[in-house]
Amino acid sequence: WDGGKRLELPDVHGMTTASIDKLAEDFAQEHNLHVQCMPHLREMLEALIAREDEREENFAEYRRQEGHEVLYGSMCQLLHVSTGRMLCVSKLQAMERTEQKVEISLEGTDAAVLVIKPAFKTHSQGEPVSSGDLVKFVTKKKLHGHNLSLHMSSFNPDDADRGRPGTAGTRSGQTPTLDTILSSLKTDSKAIVGAQELNATAGRPTFLRPMLFASSRDKHSVKHLLKAEDYVCFYDKDVEAYLSHTPEAGPHFRCSKRVSSKARKKSTWMWKIESKTLVGAGACVRCSETAHYRLKHVVTGKYLQRDGDTLAVTSEYWKPNCLFTFKRFSRASGDDSTSKNSLIFLRSAGNNPAWVTAASPSDRL
């Protein structure tokens, strides 16, 4: 379509099929394309406009359905939040040779449309799906004559494979070692002891348990509230210092006058709030003694922990001394949520809780 010039795709946002001829002529004249390229250029522009229309229709349908109950028998697509990519079943072979590969796609395909079905006959079509129900996801479109179901493979290399090169023999002959898994995930976390491939099968499906991460109400109506999975900085107003961490100094408070929300912050001051609970892991942060959270240092990936009367960091996030609670500075009416940029107390959880404070900057407390 571009005569082999490797040109960038033209912007067709807001265009309609009625303007294809004009757009093709202008594009060909601008880039000095041969007349023989025109039929291919028009065809390519039609495909781009159709893709843009479908994307807008999908977004409109998403907004229409957002916040409504998910029902058994309804169709859905699984969108990976961090990357914005869609889970879809591929025509390629999975690592298990009898199954189909599952991958994430930027645009998504008709093989990304899944039907939610109950794992057992205790639920019927049209009933609402509850958080924690056992379900199975089945493709609406038939691939190779079958509706395929999402399936966890039998690959599960254990920790004994760490450091051992090569692969172990299974029915596919391609079982990855733990080192291969950690390398592909670009991490060396000891918390990961194995992994299993997600693929699609025409045989027995794997029952999955969808868990509510956060309410759609929290996404739009309470944007001003602090939520788990938010990235924050902790500023001690008394000593005018940020809670920071470096491998050399460990956790400490560093003096700074950069208190404006628009002021540039150092990356060593950034922490991620993680909820202890799996259900509602992205819900609003609760200022309560019963709501426990972990604080993950963004740069090092380590977790803040109480070590006696001081603060330290660790990779062992499951330890009880990695849990903290929040308390509001002033008791306002309403629930126990808190707004961003508000005053709070930070306290370690457990039988003998202690407040996180700083007697002076750079003290490790």
- DSSP E strand boundaries for 177-298: 198-201, 231-232, 235-236, 241-246, 250-255, 271-275, 293-297
For residues 270 and 299, the answer to whether their CB atoms sit within 8 Å is yes
Give the pLDDT score at 97.
78
* Range with the poorest average pLDDT among 84-88, 279-283, 359-363: 359-363
Least confident of 93-107, 134-148, 156-170, 328-342: 156-170
Q: What is the pLDDT of residues 91-104, one digit of tens each?
A: 888 877 788 999 88
The mean per-residue pLDDT over the stretch 26-32 comes to 82
**What is residue 174's predicted lDDT score, i.e. its pLDDT?**
52
- Give the tens place of pLDDT for each residue, 40-64: 888 888 888 887 887 777 777 777 7
Does the structure show a pLDDT above 60 at 164?
no
**What integer best gives the mean pLDDT of the chain?**
82
pLDDT score of 186: 73
- Using a CB cutoff of 8 Å and minimum separation of 24, what contacts does 125-129 make? 125/71, 125/72, 125/73, 126/71, 126/72, 126/73, 127/71, 127/72, 128/69, 128/70, 128/71, 128/72, 129/69, 129/70, 129/71, 129/72, 129/210
Tokens of 271: 């922490």
Residue 353 clears pLDDT 70, i.e. is over it:
yes
Q: What pLDDT does residue 222 have?
A: 73
